[in-house]
A and B are shown apart, each in its own frame.
Chain A
């Protein structure tokens, strides 16, 4: 036990207690505190008479006020989140719409342009310097600007274009090149430039890649103005050895060095030939093509002129030997059917189903061309898309579900393609005057769709079908069915 002090106490002792147990007091307070005696004074501290709520709290401390406040805050947070979600949804929606608009714009341009080679070269460069809106999605405008860059350089210097691509914001975002900095270079761009854009695999060493990766450091995108600049502070300015040459190269210098190699002209001219003519030209042809490109200072215009004036281009090796890409297929089909205004969603949906969506190449290597476009599913899809466009597919107004459940024989309208599609203008496509004579009608359609004679057997097959369909009168419906049959052939996939 602790020994207790006596009850009587001094004024000083009372003041001491009030100091330690409380916050002290005025002389009067100490006086009256002292008067209680030691033990009562202690008691008054431990069991104070003053009620707990002696000091009323501000109103906002009340239970109701607190609940209301919490509700308000929750509401606020919810609304901020909703606004944020909404904003991001709106912007997502906006960019998605922008993307769709850009895709529709280019497709429309291809369909109606009077400068088709320029658009085709734009498509060539888009495939060559492949960049996808899927990655550059929030900067649709950069994709459109890049597209315009390709168009401006359609027939110009491929070397200048390669230099421009080095400074192209969309490409930079696509390949994440702005992360390549002095001290930690990223080999991605250096590798793609040599492997895919200029030389082809096997025409450079891993050391060339490593060294030039250092040259490509410091290229950055200014997010304020959307332009690419070379940040010299992030650029490795020391010497690099590329293709046996040494110097403090930057990216531009490396591209210049690449184009000093004969292989650069060879790689690109060969690729252009394959795009427009056929795959794997002879060695001699490759040499000749490379020389043309090199002599014209890498301008593609002169090369294209030589290609389109060459005898080989009009030879049996070339004519109707190329598998149409989905874009070629779709634009061509619409032109042949004289449709300038296809159902709104048709081009994009068809591109997706056939495996080539503008502004969305699958990767930096671009699309795989030629036979890669065709598999059993895409071929049947081509046939059935042709059925939709020609209206040869019959009861298109049924919903897909009904069509599947009740009449497995009928084609549902492809999703999102527009229900009200009326088909092409068959008075134009197959004038009534022709319809009396199946052979004439078929020959006219053969020229329309193949622009080339077809084997007699096929022609006879078409004619026979037309005869069997003739009946009393050859209506638009029968014409549509005949067109659909003609389009549902392997041969139609070639151009």
Chain B
């Protein structure tokens, strides 16, 4: 027999993403699409993507080599269950519109209406320095503040960057994540399309965030965007990404690659609010290098998808570099969030922290998988890893797989992990202070995730703000 507290808690939590289908899970007609590749992956498909984009030969060679890596590697058998993905049942390239506009009025009506519903143009007007909107395989809208452009900031989609800034792209391309880093990075490298390219010149501080929004519309779609951020010495930038997709009964695949180079004394923050529908496999490789005295921060929120496997990494390559990973994962019914982070201290006096919070309910599964490494020579380095898991019922599951390797005797490394359940005693204690059951449940969950949510720039986009409020405050607590 459920306790009154459990009933109240269940009522609160039942609302999480309950209105996903209405708010985010709708889909548009595809009648006006410019091109939709047939399902399946082959050399011909890869060549046709490259041909469509009129790419230089080196990029075409890069793609084909990556395809060989993808085909020669086994599917990972760790983390989540990838055995159900049928790589031949996916559209690898879908072009919804022939052009990438800098004016919303030029975006096809169906697509513009979708982004209106998601609140992107409104957020752009109010809070952002620049916006990229990717729909299916390609970016349909991109705009950046004129003042930033005048300062030399480049914020454009990756396809345009390759055409207009080829030398710069080529200098850094795949230096952080090579195509055969792992099977999914190889897949992305073979069929990548869209994503963002950000270049911030030395000393330039981008005061307001840059945002990219990724939308899948087609059924059985694969979205493979590629993002590269280069922050020159002493610069500062905050990049935010959000994503949603329609609810379908068949699966889609999202497999991105994100590379970040933080030059000396720069600061890069990369925030993700991932809210794919629960028919999307989200298999992403994200990695950053931080040079001397640079700061790199990943704020990684995983709320949606069927299965997420994502472990943002930071290589602290220069002395006194600093890295932070804030990770929150929410796993509801039918979801597996296999998330975490990796930090490698490869230089002296580097510092880092990983804070991971996960919530599992209704049989959902959350996993923290992380690596903290202090390399030989990274003397006087400091790090703290904290993993907290909250289980909301008996059917849910939480696992923690922390790996720590220490190569220096004077490293200062701490690791804490907790798994907790909302208990009757906690509810009773708060009730004794005048709260009712519902408020008590809210307060406990809010307190649990507060260290992460306080880092989210709630005001930056109406849609993301609404999402976080709905999922973290309105529904959970």
A and B pair up:
no
| A interface residues (Cβ-Cβ under 8 A, vs B) | none
